[in-house]
Amino acid sequence: MSSTQQLKRVFALADANSFYASCEKVFRPDLEGKPVVVLSNNDGCVVAQSKEAKALLKLWMCRPWFEIEEEALRLGVVPFSSNYELYANMSNRFMTTLRQFSPRQEVYSIDESFLEMTGINRNLTDYGQEIKRTVKDWTGLPICVGFGHSKTLAKLANHCAKKQPQWEGVCDLTALSERELEAILEQLPVDTVWGVGRRLQASLATVGVENVLRLKRADPKRVRDKFGVVLERTVRELNGEVLIEMEEMVPEAKQVMSSRSFGARVHQLKDLEEAISYHASNASQRLRSKGLYANAVYIFIQNSPFDKAEYYGPSCTVALPCPTDNTLQINKAALWLLKRIYRPGIYYQKAGVMLMGLVPKEGQQQELLGYSEATPKSQALMETLDRINHKYSKGALKVASEGMAKLWAMRRNFKSPNYTGDWEELGKVK
């Protein structure tokens, strides 16, 4: 056995702090030290808060904005509508910056990334501080870093780095003695463990497991018998066994979905056609970016289930004669489906398109009966469409059925500019 194989595995989790709110602050230095909140689709509920906003105890996550708006503004809170384009671009910058610090990286979510640190012969606390400084300098985002001998322990270390100021944003559990580690775990409630939610926390409490140390000391076999194999794996990971490996390849998608609630009630078929066309085009572009073809198109339209009006939420699916990623073909199928389920005299609040039966683009058999648009000319058209929209801005080129006015578009009254993705919205120095 080589010396490399004998090394104990080490993982790091780098996590951006209050990611959405931090993205908004990067290009607004005047907001430093001010409370910021980010709202959900149609400016509905609070979905992200800066640390200053979290300190205002009367502001709670997931509260409807209209309920707290008056008080929040009185307290100096600055609201922002969700700016998904900006957040995606900032996430890409964050992940690219992290890539230089480890030979292996797993992008876990939009603001979290696991890094393999096995064999890195450095003081990990110092290395974590270097990662923090570099990310802050290169992207403007504040982050915390946690190190552990398993991904579960790295996730727990990140929690300590974020919630306990004495760690100064970097927590290395691998440098602690067993006694020091257990003293920390004893102070942490069991729901701080990755994958332990409220329901499981309540079940564990019935058998006396109320903190992380007790879960760590639990008999894995008895845990498996009572709670299942997933929690048994968690117990073993808390004891330093590596059962959850790095996933460097993104799992292949099973569906591609595009949907949004409308900013205003929609009554006319024409407006619904525009929305469905937009979602069909958006889903088709995502499909091409993944190198996939779709075998079926699914659409849905609905009004609000919480309204006094009778709920109407039909959906419909059509199988395509052959797999495709062509926007025009998918859009045609989606509009055909819409006419089958549209009912006049009803207002609609949401619509969406899902592409299903996804298969890799490579190796597909050519269709012989003339339906397939996977011709060199068609492929060149789609490549040109994507290239222009990527170079300028999303929607610079689109199918005519998407319309121009978009009266149904999502309400975003507090949206910030897309500083990193639109030439027309670049930041200006005064």
Contact (CB, 8 A) for 150 and 237: yes
Q: What is the reported pLDDT for 2?
A: 45
Question: Residue 380's Cα: distance from chain center in Å?
Answer: 31
Contact (CB, 8 A) for 271 and 407: yes
Q: What is the reported pLDDT for 378?
A: 82
Task: Tell me the three state secondary structure of residue 380.
Answer: helix
Angle (deg, nearest 10), helices 220-227 and 198-205: 120
Q: What is the reported pLDDT for 135?
A: 97
Q: What is the reported pLDDT for 3?
A: 45
Nearest C-alpha neighbor of 232 from the set 220, 242, 241, 247: 220
The parts of the chain modelled with pLDDT lower than 70 are 1-6, 57-59, 248-253, 363-374, 430
Tell whether pTM > 0.75: yes
Domains delineated in the chain: 7-175 (3.30.70.270), 256-361+377-402 (3.30.1490.100)
Q: What is the reported pLDDT for 427?
A: 75
Q: What is the reported pLDDT for 25?
A: 95
Q: What is the reported pLDDT for 62?
A: 85
Q: What is the reported pLDDT for 392?
A: 79
Q: What is the reported pLDDT for 213?
A: 96
Two structure tokens written together for 206: 């019935």
Instruction: Give dist(CA 132, CA 170) in Å, integer.
Output: 8
Instruction: Give dist(CA 92, CA 257) in Å, integer.
Output: 21
Q: What is the reported pLDDT for 374?
A: 60
Nearest C-alpha neighbor of 92 from the set 110, 75, 72, 77: 110
Q: What is the reported pLDDT for 296?
A: 93
H-only helix segments in 187-310: 198-205, 212-217, 220-227, 229-238, 269-289
Q: What is the reported pLDDT for 250?
A: 61
